[in-house]
Structure 1
Amino acid sequence: MKMINLFEEGSFNEIAFKTLLVHDSENFKILNFNFKAGQDLPVHSHDIDGEVSIVVLEGTGVFLAADDKTLPARPGDVLVCPIKTPHGVRATTDMRVLVTIAPPI
């Protein structure tokens, strides 16, 4: 068993978003991304089978998709999609998200 407090462990950086590896196993990977306002994880995809979930813990922004489409991203919102589907995140305010990838990459 392992416990991490993301609000204590995860930090922010003015230059680039910060990543904290929360968990990594053969079954899934959990990452915490902390974005300062205006930072983003550009739209991307992975050519493998699997799924990704992105949970907004704090702050606001948008989930990014193909063809410049966006969806609002507020605390409590969860985006789930195949990892082959183009996805990304842009922060409007300082923003913390929790990303789960299964199986891990």
Structure 2
Amino acid sequence: MKVVNIFEEGTFSDKAMKKNLVHDSPYFRIINFNFRAGQELPIHSHELEGELSIQVLEGEGEYLAKDRTLPARAGDILVCAIEESHGIRAVTDMRVLVTIAPPI
């Protein structure tokens, strides 16, 4: 058992989004991404079976999909198949928590 406070450990970078590995196991992976306004994780997909979630903890932005964008605000969580195209763009500074199962 462990406790990680991503608000204390997760940092921001003006150059590019900041990626912080929170947890990694054979069952799932948790990653904290911190974005400055205007930064993004481009649309991408993975040729694997499984699911992921992208939860906005702080800030506002947009979930990115192949053919649309969806609002992404604090408290919102996107759930999709890993093989489905996904990404996120920050409108304001954002903290995001991504969970991937099984881990890639």
TM-score by length of 2: 0.99
Structure 1 residues 14-29: aligned runs within 5 Å? 14-29=14-29
Q: Percent identity?
A: 66
Residue of structure 1 in register with 2:101 after alignment: 102
Stretches of 4+ moved more than 3 A in 1? none
Letter of the structure 2 residue corresponding to residue 81 of structure 1 = C
Distance (Å, rounded) in 1 between the aligned partners of 2:2 and 2:21: 13
Distance (Å, rounded) in 1 between the aligned partners of 2:5 and 2:93: 18
Structure 1 residues 29-44: aligned runs within 5 Å? 29-44=29-44
Report deviation, 1:43.
0.2
Report deviation, 1:20.
0.6
Letter of the structure 1 residue corresponding to residue 73 of structure 2 = R
Distance (Å, rounded) in 1 between the aligned partners of 2:8 and 2:19: 14
Residue of structure 2 in register with 1:85 after alignment: 84
Deviations 1:45-78 (A, max 9, x none): 00000001000000000000003x1000000000
Distance (Å, rounded) in 2 between the aligned partners of 1:22 and 1:12: 15
Query: Per the alignment, in what secondary structure is the counterpart of residue 27 of structure 1?
Result: coil
Distance (Å, rounded) in 2 between the aligned partners of 1:7 and 1:48: 31
Aligned-CA RMSD value: 0.4
Task: Work out the number of aligned pairs and report it.
Answer: 104
Q: Which runs of 5+ in 2 are unaligned?
A: none
Structure 1 residues 64-75: aligned runs within 5 Å? 64-67=64-67, 69-75=68-74
Report deviation, 1:40.
0.1
